[in-house]
Amino acid sequence: MPAKNNMSISRIKAVILQSLYNLRHSLEDIVETFFWPFIDVILWGFITLYFAGLEGQASTLVVFLLGGIILWNIVYRAQQDIGFALLRNVWSRNILNLFSSPLTPWEFMFATMALGLVKTVLTLFVVSAIAFVFYSFNIFSLGFYLLPFFVGLIVFSWAAGIFITGLIIRFGMRIQAFVWSLTFLIYPISAVFYPVSVLPAFLQKVAQFLPTAHIFEGMREVLVTGTLSSERLIWAFSLDIGYMLLAAWFFVIMFEKAREKGKLARVEM
Amino acid sequence: MQAVLQVENLTKEFDGFIAVDNISFDLKEGEILGFLGPNGAGKTTTIMMLLGLIKPTKGKIKMFGLDFCQNRGEILKNVNFSSAYTSLPGRLTVFENLYVFAGLYSIVNPDLKINELLESFELTQLKRETTGNLSSGEATRLNLCKALLNDPRLLFLDEPTSSLDPDIAQKTRELLLKTKRERNISILYTSHNMEEVTQMCDRVIFLQRGKIVASDTPLNLTRVIKDMASQEPDLEEVFLRIARKK
């Protein structure tokens, strides 16, 4: 897109407002935001308690698994929010109206990320409260480290969301399933519930290139020792920056390709 | 009259298929230009290029004297679009949808503008109604409200009355003509209803297989294509003769 169009607060606010109005009228959006994270925490909590009871290591296991599920919800929800913001407009045949206005794709993305951040923080508080009430697990026992973990995970989720949005704009609705499934592709190798060392050797190498793996390993390190090696955070943030730049570049290429191929005008197909 | 839109040698090729073939035309201030042609003639592709949604293979587009590629954001503040093939999010109310677009076009005092448009299009009583519950006629009028929110200087209307009953369609046409007169808007208008085009348009362009094959006033075209002695425009006959010509 041509550059001579500065970011406009009014347009960013308008996109945020559209999502908020949608949230107000849409039960499934509320369900998506709070219900599934709630079910995740409850279900995993009880499963953990059961197995931990058999092994006699209740506290460590519960802490690892609940910490994992709470932080994983950040990855999944934040990425999904970006994809859904676009999909809702595609489903309602509003994409042409949106992008024939002065709105730029980056304003749309920025608005979606900003709202996603608020929704993710809210979700974090809700599921943390549930974990505390049901299992006396306090995610805030991670202390100061929770902040870099949160930032590291959400930046990676945004990169994934931007990547998926680029795919949808270029290839249309046949790609929409990625919005639900792409992050699950990295779920098993992100060391959410178990250490990277459990993985086969070649997957351990792949996991080194996932910020999520460094953050979840870091989470367990903090929960056990109360400290964190700065190397993990440096790796996670360096990878985050790299993926964000790659996703932004990919999105620009896909958007331009879609304009060239006429796909933006027929994205619902 | 000054041209608000100038198109020069505009071409769009999709993988070897030429959808729009080297067309040039302009649209003057306060003019309604009919953009006609059979399905697949390249009308919608041209409008999409004029909105920046499709990238031209070659050619130049100027709006308000500015190069469109270089000034897309600034230009689009003064342009709007309505199509029978788009809709606004069904879960939002009429007012909410318009309020969102008022933000996208940075409208000052959006409540006033929205109320004024809702009244013009007889939608005031539906202000709090969910958009998905509107009839197709009401939804079309809502799309037109959206299209007039920013007081555009240039308006692209793609078959705006195709889903309306004759009564509402006539009212909508009258309203568009009134709005055009009051605000001196320039309109690029596509429709398959030749009677409507005759009533609305000062000039028409016929597209066929991506090329402009005729361009004039409805009456002059009728005289050239059908009968030099014609006193009344007959675009239906003109359309059929052009569309069936190999």
For residue B130, the chain A residues in CB contact (below 8 A) are 25
* Out of A15, A102, A104, closest to residue B77 by CB: A102
**What CA–CA distances, in Å, run from B13 to A83, A265, B45, B111, B210?**
30, 15, 10, 43, 10
The DSSP element (H or E) to which A205 belongs, if any, is: helix A201-207
Q: What is the pLDDT of residue B128?
A: 96
- Confidence band, pLDDT 50/70/90 cuts, at residue A181: confident
For residue B155, the chain A residues in CB contact (below 8 A) are none
Spatial CB neighbours of B221, under 8 Å, sequence gap ≥ 6: B204, B206, B214, B233, B235, B238
Q: Residue B188: beta bridge partners?
A: B33, B156
- Confidence band, pLDDT 50/70/90 cuts, at residue A50: confident
- Confidence band, pLDDT 50/70/90 cuts, at residue A36: confident
pLDDT at residue A40 above 80? Answer: yes
pLDDT at residue A46 above 90? Answer: no
> Which amino acid is present at A134?
F
pTM: 0.88
Task: Give me chain B's average pLDDT, please.
Answer: 90
- Each residue's pLDDT tens digit, B59-70: 999 999 999 999
Here the ipTM equals 0.90
Q: What is the pLDDT of residue A3?
A: 44
Classify residue A12 by burial, with Cβ atoms within 10 Å: 0-12, 13-18, 19+. buried
**Chain A window 75-104: which residues touch B at a Cβ cutoff of 8 Å?**
88-89, 92-94, 96-104
pLDDT at residue B110 above 60? Answer: yes
- Each residue's pLDDT tens digit, B112-164: 999 999 998 889 999 999 999 999 889 989 999 999 999 999 999 998 888 78
Q: Residue B10: beta bridge partners?
A: B23
With an 8 Å Cβ cutoff, are B92 and A22 in contact? yes
B102 touching chain A per CB within 8 A: yes
Provide the 8-state DSSP code for A33. Answer: I
